[in-house]
Each structure stands twice: as C-alpha cells, then as structure tokens.
C-alpha cells in the first residue's frame, strides 16, 4: 500500500513556545518526527511514500533530499491554505492512487497498533475508509466520533458523542471512493480534514473506526514531553514483558 504525509503546516503554536525548527524536524528521543513517521510506514510494508511540504521549509526540504530510504519517497513542494487542500494537491500529483494511508507529520502513536490498524483495513475490503480513533483526549479542539458496536462510524462532532468518547486520531486509510470525495468536499467549500471526514458519512460511504490506546498531536512544547514519556513507557513495558517471558 502507498502512504502519504501532510507536512505543509507552519507549526505556529510550536514557534510561539520557542521551537525554532519546522514541526516535522522536531525530535522525539533523538528521532525527527518526519523520520519516525516514515520509518513506521516502511515497517508497515509501504510500497511508496508521498510527502507534501510547504515552499517555506528549506530545512525540511534539504533533509528529505539528503535522506536515504529503502522505498520511493517523493516530495511535493506546495504552499496550501489547509490540510485538505494539501491532500488534494497530493492527489493531483498522483491521480492513479486508488488506496492509501494518510497522516499528518505531528501524529505520534505506537508502531504495533499502527500495523494492526493497517491489517484491519486491508482485510476489510467492504469499507471505503478506516479512521484511527482514541479515548485519549488532549487537544484544544477534539473531533468526537460516534461509533457503534461493530466500529462503524455514524457521525463526527465538535462536542462529545457516544460511549466510549472516541476522538479522531488524524490517521486515515482510504480507498478510491473516499479519495474521490476529496474533490467534492473542496467543491462544497470545505478546507479541513475534520469536515472531510463528516463528508464521507454524508456521502453514504462505509467508514470504520480502529481504536488506538493513545495518539498524541505535537502542537505545543508540552506535547513533545508527553509523547516522549508515552513512547518510553511503552518501551519499558515491552522490555519488562520480554525479560519476564510474557
């Protein structure tokens, strides 16, 4: 499967916190966010990775140009007004893309859960899209998700809905019908990925949820510390279970 990364944001909130690097160049445990995401995609058997960055990111552009990856990684340089516009631009460059997994560069999650997410999507050809969701809420404006007992998504909302209270994690697996809906969403004046997700439901597409234990968005300096603690806690747990034969 092919993967896509939206890395075209300005990271304005991180800049306000005193972080000088572009968001994709921020490091977690010594690894840049963009490299961490690419590595997780490769571990999930990516055949190719497409990345869109804005035209005011020379540091990121240079890093990606010099990096060596075991799969094709192409970079689109385009400044866009929103995340949905960025995805649309990426699709214009790859019009034959019939299935992909898309994430923003500031999304931090566990590699094992991500692999299971991809496997669940690939083994369920009846759905048009699968969204990562989590009960972990630490966002200034969370997008809540209404999910039934079969993990079918019925609605997205800016206010809490459903039990448990799931929120969108910003990782999307999409098939052709869902990918084609990007164009109609823009034609309706939408500009955000959260509006696009509800648009899929309104279009009558089959959209499923896949729960993650925790997904962290890196928007502020405190989020970097939270993400590092989360990853370290998981590493310590994995080491303990390995050592004790569990």
**Domain ranges, ordered by start, for the chain:** 2-243
CA distances in angstroms from 111 to 45, 116, 213, listed in the order given: 12, 9, 12
Cis before 164 (ω within 30): yes
Which residues, listed in sequence order, are joined to residue 2 by a DSSP beta bridge? 48, 100
- What is the C-alpha separation between 223 and 221, in angstroms, rounded? 5
What's the burial of 66, exposed, middle or buried (CB within 10 Å: 0-12/13-18/19+)?
Answer: exposed
Query: What is the secondary structure of 36-93 as a DSSP string?
Result: HHHHHHHHTT-SEEEEEE-TT-HHHHHHHHH---SS-EEEEE---SSHHHHHHHHHHH
Give me the tens of pLDDT residue by residue for the chain, a chain 246 residues long.
999 999 987 667 787 777 778 889 999 999 999 999 999 999 999 999 999 999 988 999 999 999 999 999 999 999 999 999 999 999 999 999 999 999 999 999 999 999 999 999 999 999 999 999 999 998 888 999 999 999 999 999 999 987 889 999 999 999 999 999 999 999 999 999 999 999 999 999 999 999 999 999 998 889 999 999 999 988 866 654 656 665
Residue 22 near residue 11, CB atoms below 8 Å:
yes
DSSP line for 112-173: HHHHHHHHHHHT-TT-SEEEEEES----SS--EEEE-TT-BEEEEESS--SSS-EEEEEEEE
Domain 2-243 grouped into CATH 3.90.550.10: yes
Distances (CA, A) of 208 to 124, 130, 194, 200, 245: 10, 5, 15, 11, 35
- Cα separation of 54 and 105, whole Å? 13
Decide if 146 contacts 167 (C-beta within 8 A). no
The per-residue pLDDT for 238 is 65
Within its chain, how far is the Cα of 126 from the centroid?
A: 22
Cβ(106)–Cβ(28) under 8 Å? no
The closest of 76, 178, 53 to 127, measured between CA atoms, is: 178
């Amino acid at each position: 499967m092919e993967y896509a990364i939206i890395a075209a944001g300005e990271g304005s909130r991180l800049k306000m916190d005193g972080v000088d690097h572009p968001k994709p160049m921020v490091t977690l445990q010594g690894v840049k966010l963009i490299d961490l995401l690419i590595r997780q995609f490769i571990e999930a058997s990516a055949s190719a990775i497409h990345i869109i960055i804005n035209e005011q990111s020379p540091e990121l552009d240079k890093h990606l140009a010099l990096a060596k990856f075991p799969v094709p990684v192409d970079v689109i340089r385009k400044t866009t007004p929103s995340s949905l516009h960025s995805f649309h631009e990426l699709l214009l460059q790859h019009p034959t893309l019939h299935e992909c997994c898309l994430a923003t560069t500031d999304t931090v999650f566990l590699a094992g859960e991500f692999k299971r997410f991809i496997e669940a999507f690939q083994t369920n050809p009846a759905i048009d899209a699968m969204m990562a969701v989590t009960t972990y809420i630490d966002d200034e404006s969370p997008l809540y998700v209404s999910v039934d007992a079969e993990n079918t998504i019925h609605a997205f909302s800016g206010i809490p809905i459903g039990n448990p209270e799931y929120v969108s994690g910003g990782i999307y697996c999409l098939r052709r019908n869902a990918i084609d809906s990007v164009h109609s969403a823009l034609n309706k004046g939408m500009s955000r990925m959260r509006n696009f997700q509800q648009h899929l439901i309104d279009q009558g597409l089959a959209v499923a949820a896949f729960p993650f234990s925790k997904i962290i968005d890196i928007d502020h300096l405190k989020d970097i510390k939270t993400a590092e603690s989360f990853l370290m806690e998981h590493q310590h747990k994995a080491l303990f279970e390995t050592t004790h034969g569990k």
